[in-house]
């Protein structure tokens, strides 16, 4: 397994946000994590990325224990998290935001090449290169934060609700991008989504988190009557 989370417990003071969660992500997979508001999805991703201290359990990434390591160290190992809410550096330009994504790298020629590739992948960002990130639309900012994360050359990309609040056309583009990343073969994706229908459609496997616990998991959750009733409105 590329990522193995075992019996993870994360609390905010006395609030247990994640209780005894175990999940796996294999190289090359798209794994979806769905569940209602407050289920602990973002907390789980933050704990994996080293942004939230864990109380119990273990997190192994490429066989190395990464629980409670500093976020920069986790990132250096090839794991990137795109947080909920598209936090671009609003006063900086699109270009500066993208270059920042590669700050831990020292292969300058490769960084320039990746930047150019990113702008080919996201033509809208090329058009907006010198514009301040804060002036971009919501969809453009989402593209930017994903592109910025990709500039670190992650092997595992974790996305927290990338489609939240975006129009269906932009949402479809983001899901297409995730599928393209998988098809190209070098990025594995752990995707948190409200949009259960589309997430389950592109995912190889999924976990359902409720009240800080995994209540269902599998490869065919879209066919599961419990999921259809609770999440797909069938
Ligand atoms: N910084 C914090 N301080 C205290 N409690 C928090 C904090 N962040 C989250 N929580 C609580 O932890 C629980 C899990 O929150 P989390 O944000 O992980 O849920 P989520 O599944 O991502 O929800 P959503 O779908 O709304 O984004 C919630 O009860 C929430 O109120
Ligand atoms: Mg969340």
The CATH class of the 3-92+155-230 domain is alpha beta
Domain spans in the chain, listed from the N-terminal domain onward? 3-92+155-230
Rg (alpha carbons) of the chain, rounded to whole number = 17
- What is the token pair recorded at 145? 């934060």
Taking Cα atoms as reference points, which of 134, 93, 100, 135 lies closest to residue 114? 100
The residue whose C-alpha atom lies closest to atom 27 belonging to ligand 1 is 37
Ligand 1, CB within 6 Å, residue ranges? 12, 15, 17, 35, 37-43, 84
Distance, CA of 72 to chain centre: 16
Taking Cα atoms as reference points, which of 120, 115, 127, 103 lies closest to residue 177? 120
- Local mean pLDDT, 10-residue blocks, the chain (234 residues): 98 96 97 96 98 97 96 94 86 94 87 94 94 93 94 96 90 93 91 92 96 95 87 74
User: How many angstroms does the Cα of residue 192 sit away from the middle of ligand 2?
Assistant: 8
What's the mean pLDDT when you consider all of the chain? 93
Taking Cα atoms as reference points, which of 60, 221, 78 lies closest to residue 151? 78
Mutate to test the pocket of ligand 1, among 38, 48, 52, 81 (most ligand atoms within 8 A of CB): 38
The residue whose C-alpha atom lies closest to atom 6 belonging to ligand 1 is 12
pLDDT per position as a tens digit, 50-109: 999 999 999 999 999 999 999 999 999 999 999 988 887 888 999 999 999 998 888 889
Q: Which residues contact 116 (CB under 8 A, 6 or more apart)?
A: none
Q: Which residues contact 209 (CB under 8 A, 6 or more apart)?
A: 21, 33, 34, 35, 39, 40, 41, 44, 215
SS3 content of the chain, % helix, strand, coil (to 5): 40, 25, 35
- pLDDT of 13 reads 94
- pLDDT of 185 reads 82
Instruction: Indicate the burial class of 155 (C-beta count within 10 angstroms; 0-12, 13-18, 19 or more).
Output: middle
């Amino acid at each position: 397994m590329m990522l193995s989370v075992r019996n993870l417990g994360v609390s905010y003071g006395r609030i247990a946000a994640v209780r005894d969660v175990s999940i796996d992500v294999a190289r090359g997979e798209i794994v979806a994590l769905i569940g209602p508001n407050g289920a602990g999805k973002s907390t789980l991703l933050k704990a994996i990325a080293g942004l939230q201290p864990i109380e119990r359990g273990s997190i192994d990434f490429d066989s190395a224990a990464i629980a409670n390591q500093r976020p920069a160290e986790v990132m250096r190992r090839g794991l990137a998290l795109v947080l909920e809410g598209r936090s671009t550096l609003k006063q900086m330009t699109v270009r500066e935001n993208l270059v920042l994504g590669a700050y831990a790298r020292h292969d300058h020629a490769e960084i320039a090449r990746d930047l150019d590739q990113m702008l080919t992948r996201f033509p809208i960002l090329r058009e907006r290169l010198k514009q301040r990130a804060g002036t971009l639309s919501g969809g453009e900012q989402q593209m930017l934060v994903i592109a910025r994360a990709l500039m670190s050359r992650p092997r595992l990309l974790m996305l927290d609700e990338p489609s939240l609040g975006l129009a269906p056309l932009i949402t479809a583009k983001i899901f297409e991008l995730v599928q393209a990343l998988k098809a190209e073969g070098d990025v594995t994706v752990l995707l948190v989504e409200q949009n259960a229908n589309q997430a389950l459609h592109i995912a190889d496997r999924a976990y359902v988190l409720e009240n800080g616990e995994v209540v269902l998991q599998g490869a065919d959750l879209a066919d599961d009557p419990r999921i259809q009733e609770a999440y797909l409105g069938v």
